[in-house]
Structure 1
Amino acid sequence: MKSLLCKQHLKPKHRNCFLQGNNAVLHSAFAFLIILATLLLAVPLSTLAAEKPNTLVLPFKINTPTDRARLTQTIDAALTKALEAGPARMRTFRMFPRTEAENIFDYTTAWPPSYEAIQQFGTEAAADVSYVAVGSLTKLGDSISLDIKVYDLLDPSSQTFYYLDGQELENVEGSMDKIFNDVLAYTGRSFLIASIAPQGNARIDSGAILRSISSRAGDIYEAEQLRNDMKNIFKMGYFDDVRLRVEDTEKGKAVIFEVKEKPVIGQVTIRGYDELKEDDIREVISVIPNTILNPQKIREAADNIKSLYKSKGFYNTEVTSEITYPKADQVKVEFAIQEGEKVFIKDIRFAGNESFKDSELLKVMGTKEKGLLSWFTDSGVLKRDILEQDASRITSFYHHHGYIEATVGMPEITQDGEWLYVTIEISEGNRYRVGNIELTGDIIGVKEELLYLVKIRDEEYLSRNLLREDILRLNDFYAENGYAFAEATPTVNTNREEKIVDIAIDINKGDLVYINRITIKGNTRTRDKVIRRELLIREKGVFDSKALRLSHQRLIRLDFFEDVSITPEPTPDKTKMDLVVEVKEKPTGAFSIGAGYSSVDALMFMAEVSQNNFLGRGQRLALSGSISGTAARYNLGFTEPHFYDSQLMLGFDLYNWEREYDLYTRDSKGFSIRFGYPVWELWNASFSYGYDDTNLTDVDFDNVAPSIIQSLDINTSSYVTFNLSRDTRNNLYATTSGTYNLLHTKYAGGFLGGDSQFTKVDGASSLFLPGFFIDETAFHFRLSAGQVWENEAGALPDYEKFYLGGINTIRGYKTRSIAVTYTDPDTGVEYEVGGKIMWFANLEYHFPLVKAGGLRGLVFYDAGNVYESEWDFNNIKQSVGAGLRWMSPMGPMRLEWGYVIDPEPDEDSSNWEFSMGGSF
């Protein structure tokens, strides 16, 4: 009886070659069984089964018209490499030798072989495999295609095909690797993870569990890796137990992590606190109700509470936690606090400081000893991060004064009862004088002029801080002149014998840089040209760092954007630079209604419709109105800040307003046309023409001065104004630095016509300086003065004269209560009228009270007066006081109390002023 292996895909000499008769079969089978039995005794069945590949891969048939031998060698190498790439493939695939395959199969006939031929081959020559993979490679020009057919020896109906077309010959290894990835997913699925899923989790999201592990569906099944995954799930802290269950499926291993969740937190209570608020304590803990119990987080919460108390000066605070189980699946967590006594720094001591007194060094430090105002300023409370910074501050202080070798040790802290003592060791070293200063390298301009930028040459002793500022100043100077990448490098040569340092500053200016392209991003509403016209730097122009900074400030001052950034970007040409201007739009249109109260206007209601960026063109359009107990104001205004894209500002206002004073009511209607132009950097000049029609009504003729009665006949004013202003304030509300200067002139009558005939000049100058050593504090000094003259026709209405007193001038005095006393020569009766000359000054110190809430405090000193015709600085009104300021949801709020220094008999000694909803 012949074997069934004799098929057309086998070569002739191999037909009838495996079984020639029954005798041969019996002898061969008997020998095979003896050998197999010996092997089974030596190797465990499980090991043998686990290591035997289940897929036999025949060498590829190569279809190419030329160079077949070389290509065959390349393909066999790539195939071998693909089959041995990783443990999963080595367990799954075994390559059949080409020489043996070509002896069995005819590679010149149609390919691939029939299922019957492969089945007979597998049964007789590879009985230990379940699959046979047969492939071919076809070369067409410089590209190749791969085709693989996989035979399932146990299921004749299951034959799977894989192919890749249009692949590059140079990347044959990558192509072979890719196609056998797909084959592996089919024949090697018993070695792969088919699915991974957690089970038993009710509150913890399955995605969160899967993100904590490394194994993924499609990975090789590795028991060690899965054990590590179990550990990672347990480390999440949400489970009392984690177990692994693995099931075999047709697609591979199904991995299930069985978890048992910890109970949920039902209640978190805190007891034992007295010095701190419960809300403040809860802010520092992450243990909250309706979350899974995590002992680690409870320990962290206790530590955070202790740290919070330490930051407030309580260094002996103890915090314990207790977990109880009111229900089987729910716990109660309680934190018990023993606050202890507050501990303050009693004394800060220095050792080794011979050149500076302790008091001088204490001024440098942010850490302070306990003082009289500790209850208010928190001085005396130890904050370790601040204390560590103090060591650097003291070092910098010494280096600033010439002690460039000075070192400061880390502060040592000791506790004695309720007091802390801080000791800081200092090694001063020698003090070095400034010797020769030389500029070398790329000098632009006159060398002597560059030396003026080096301020350290005016110092006797070396200051590292000042030297650092000089280097930055030189770099900025070069950057302002187009050398964006200029570097000034100082070299300090120390002469320890003479205690002198010579300084050589070498300058490498680099290339002159031009602006290549300016790109605008993020402007969804504002037009490009509105942004570009604020830039003081242009495409194809020379780079200028100062113009860049000013451009950024101008964009911020538009108040159209939440955020503005100007980022230089390099180009392939190192002499050119791109700029990217990126903005984030914010709402610029508003409809607002509100209410407010002030000591002057009493209760007032306000409404406004405005658009600060009308149609994205940067124009402002506003319609507003307000009504109070003493005034009613209505205004329509429009402003075009860049008329025809020039620097010329154009605008107009239409208004109608009424104001009640003590002795009369003023009713005004009118309009004005405004022009403005930036004259130099932050200086702006504006000019306007206006026409006003005013009537005085409800006049108290029994008490009013004759000059006010004369104003009844002065109804119309035709006038021009000129303003010059400069504003460098860093913030319009909580200002801590900068200046504001304003000069205002007004001319009415003359060739302009109208009843009024006068010239008025007034101005104000404000200076803001940061406070010393305390963040967000500031000194504010303001000086204001003015004078008004009657023109030749002599028609000056009383409401154009000056009155002082009130929340915006001299506090402690009622609004408009500081005036000129006029005695009627005919009747001898005294009246109060406005003055033709005025001045006042305010000196203020601002400080934060509640930083998070925006509440600020201030103390002040005010002085000034009004005069009829001559300045008289011997007659000055003065007051002192304090106040609060808060940016409330209703607008800025002010509450201020002023005490009058040396009041007149008919003047109040003090006065409260309050306003909310108005401007500062």
Structure 2
Amino acid sequence: MPRGWPLCGWSWCLLCLLLPPPAWADDNQVAAEASGVIAEIRFEGNDTTKEVVLRQELTVAPGDPVSRERIEESRQAIMNLGLFKRVRARVEPLGEAPGEGDQIVVFDVSEKWYVLPLPKFDQDADGDYAYGFELTWENFLGYNQRLELLHETTERDDGNKEVKREFAYDIPRIPRTDLGLSLFLRRTDSTPLIEDAVLGDGVYDLQRDSFGWTASRWLTRSGPSRGWRGSVGNDIFKDNYEYQQGVEGLVIDRKIVETWLGAAYHAVYEHPWHREGYEYGWTFAVSSHEFGSDDGYQRLDLFHRGYSHPVFWGNDNLNTQVRLGYGRGYDDEVHAYSIGSSKTLRGYERQPDLRGDVLALVNLEYLKPILGYRSLRGALFADIGNVYDTDAVDLTELEVGGGLGLRWKIRALVRTDLRVDIAWGRDQEDYEIYVGTKQAF
């Protein structure tokens, strides 16, 4: 039986039937050439988005000479925010003589649908079913900020019930500054069965609380939100157990305090139907008893993502991701990395032998429009990699998964691509089906 359907899979399929069909035309553009000096910059169509969000992405300003290249760079920077279905730019004369003297630059945007409430329901092949509600509010209050709320209940076949509540808020860039901020709160309540081959089994109530924040800074205060960005953050995870029945003393409360810092270079360009460019970076995380953590470990992560759109391929895309990671100080029960999911190694379930403290992973995706519809694409993908113990790294021992999929870019919604994948893993007995609303990477 196939596995891996996400909790909101059927809800998204129903939603997409109600949305408009894929469009054909690419209506982003910059108007014809003009000369003179920019006297004023105006915005049209931004009924929700605040003007300050748009202005801080510009590379032109009043008093600059009119330059088609720089106007196009500014238009693309606004498009890269991901908030608009299309962005147009045009130059209009301030006086009566067209194309000469002082000019007005107008950026005309078409806004997306920013508020998305979504019921969630699913049942998998193992007999587990889940239900709940998710609210995503993109471009919150018009400032390109994101608010997410989630309430989800999972009823497992073994009788365990899990209830998860989550709040997340993200500010990619605080207006008129080069700073960003994000935070999340999460609580999960469950009643797991703790098994011990020697002492026996026991049932406990588990309350798992998580909290984290991230502060970031762009190295360029004005102009497009791209280039180098530095980040620092802190995450706290607490597990509190309360004995219910069976054998007592099988588990103890646990607290993890993790502090991390990193840097990334971002040069990805958003187009109506595809992404183009690249990004890469690193993150170093540390957990220490001195910070109040029950564990002490260090972890280094490196990544590179590329999105290619060669002209000679028409509207095809080749997307790649490389991830490398190394962890030290983890105990035998907790590892730095786990693979086997829709975003790591497709075709594999998460399982104990796919956990380790060293990670090597490559993801490849080739996307091609179906019957000329650029918003609807077929996907051919392969995932290659493995996890290892720190003293047993062998890059010749690799797991390989691959398969076929569909991608539907829903232009009316922010950063939403309906994704359906069917994947096979080498030496795996069954295939996996994944449905999601975001790209794999």
When the two structures are superposed, what TM-score results if normalisation uses the length of structure 1? Answer: 0.36
Matched, 1:781 2:302: no
1:564 match: 87
Seen in structure 2, the aligned counterparts of structure 1 residues 658 and 845 have a Cα distance that, compared at 3 Å, is farther
The structure with the greater share of residues assigned to strand is 2
2:117 maps to 591
Secondary structure (helix, strand or coil) at the match of 2:76 reads helix
Q: Distance in 2 between matches of 1:749 and 1:519?
A: 52
Contact kept, 8 Å, 2:241 with 2:253, in 1: the verdict is no
Aligned to 2:387: 866
Cα distance between partner residues in 2 of 1:616 and 1:772: 35
The Cα offsets for residues 384-419 of structure 1, whole Å up to 9 and x where unpaired, read as xxxxxxxxxxxxxxxxxxxxxxxxxxxxxxxxxxxx
The Cα of 1:524 is off from its aligned counterpart by 2.4
1:672 alignment partner in structure 2: 212
Distance 1:600 1:566 in 2: 53
Amino acid at match of 1:519: R
CA RMSD of aligned residues (A): 4.1
Which residue of the partner structure matches residue 359 of structure 2?
838
Partner of 2:168: 637
Aligned to 1:879: 400
Map of 2:235 onto structure 1: 690
Q: Please point out which of 593, 616, 621 is paired with 2:147.
A: 621
Q: What do the CA deviations read for 1:69-95 (whole angstroms, capped 9, x no partner)?
A: xxxxxxxxxxxxxxxxxxxxxxxxxxx
What's the % identity of the aligned pairs?
18
Change (3 A) 1:844 1:644: closer
Q: Which residue does 2:28 correspond to in 1? A: none
Provide the C-alpha distance between the structure 2 equivalents of 1:729 and 1:596, rounded to a whole number of angstroms. Answer: 34
Q: Distance in 1 between matches of 2:48 and 2:275?
A: 32
Residue pair 2:358, 2:393 contacting (<8 A) in 1 also: no
Letter matched to residue 433 of structure 2? F
Instruction: Describe the SS at the equivalent of 2:119.
Output: strand
Q: CA deviation at 1:601?
A: 10
Residue 582 (structure 1) aligned with residue 108 (structure 2): yes
Q: Which of these residues, 9, 29, 50, is aligned with residue 527 of structure 1?
A: 50
Distance 1:607 1:725, change over 3 A: farther
Counterpart CA distance in 2 for 1:788 and 1:884 is 33
Q: 2:256·2:287 contact (CA, 8 Å) conserved in 1?
A: yes
Q: After superposition, where does 1:316-355 map in structure 2 within 5 Å?
A: none
Q: Is the 8 A contact 1:641 1:647 kept in 2?
A: no
Q: Is contact 1:762-1:787 (8 Å) kept?
A: yes
The answer on whether the counterparts of 1:865 and 1:875 sit within 8 Å (CA) in structure 2 is: no
CA contact (8 A) 2:327 2:357 kept: yes
2:136 paired with 1:610: yes
- Deviation at residue 733 of structure 1 after TM alignment: 10
Shift of 1:844: 3.4
Going from structure 1 to structure 2, the CA distance change for 1:778 and 1:610 (only over 3 Å counts) comes to: closer
Q: Distance in 1 between matches of 2:252 and 2:164?
A: 23
The code of the aligned residue for 1:612 comes to: E
Q: Is the 8 A contact 1:897 1:911 kept in 2?
A: no
Q: Which structure dedicates a bigger proportion of its chain to helix?
A: 1
Residue 285 of structure 2 corresponds to residue 746 of structure 1:
yes
Match of 2:260 in 1: 721
Tell me the CA shift for residue 837 of structure 1: 0.7
Inter-partner Cα distance in structure 1 for 2:316 and 2:131: 33
Matches for 1:238-253 after TM superposition, within 5 Å:
none
Question: Residue 615 of structure 1: SS of its match in structure 2?
Answer: helix
Deviation of residue 817 (structure 1)? 5.1
1:755 is the counterpart of 2:300: no
Q: CA deviation at 1:576?
A: 4.4
The residue correspondences of 1:22-421 to structure 2 (distance < 5 A) are: none
Aligned residues: 376
SS of residue in 2 equivalent to 1:548: helix
Check conservation: 1:892, 1:917, Cα contact below 8 A.
yes
* Higher-Rg member (1/2): 1
Match of 1:652 in 2: 183
SS across alignment from 2:60: coil
- Paired amino acid for 2:211: F
**Partner in structure 1 of residue 424 of structure 2:** 898
Letter aligned with residue 686 of structure 1: S
Q: Distance in 2 between matches of 1:918 and 1:875?
A: 34
Unaligned runs of 5+ in 2: 1-32, 157-161, 196-203, 221-225, 411-415
1:818 touches 1:865 (CA, 8 Å); kept in 2? Answer: no
Kept in 1, the 8 Å contact 2:120–2:134? The answer is no
Contact 1:597/1:916, CA 8 A, preserved across alignment: no
State yes or no: 1:767 paired with 2:306: yes
The amino acid of 1:614's aligned partner reads F
Contact residue 315 and residue 374 of structure 2 kept, 8 A: no
- Change over 3 Å in CA distance of 1:553–1:865 after alignment to 2: same
Deviation at 1:619, TM superposition (A): 3.2
Partner of 1:45: none
Rate the CA distance shift 1:612–1:690 in 2: closer, same or farther, 3 A.
same
In structure 1, runs of 5+ residues without a counterpart are 1-483, 486-510, 702-708, 820-833, 901-907
Structure 1 residues 738, 562: CA separation in 2 closer, same or farther (over 3 Å shift)?
A: same
The answer to whether the 8 Å contact 2:80/2:270 transfers is no
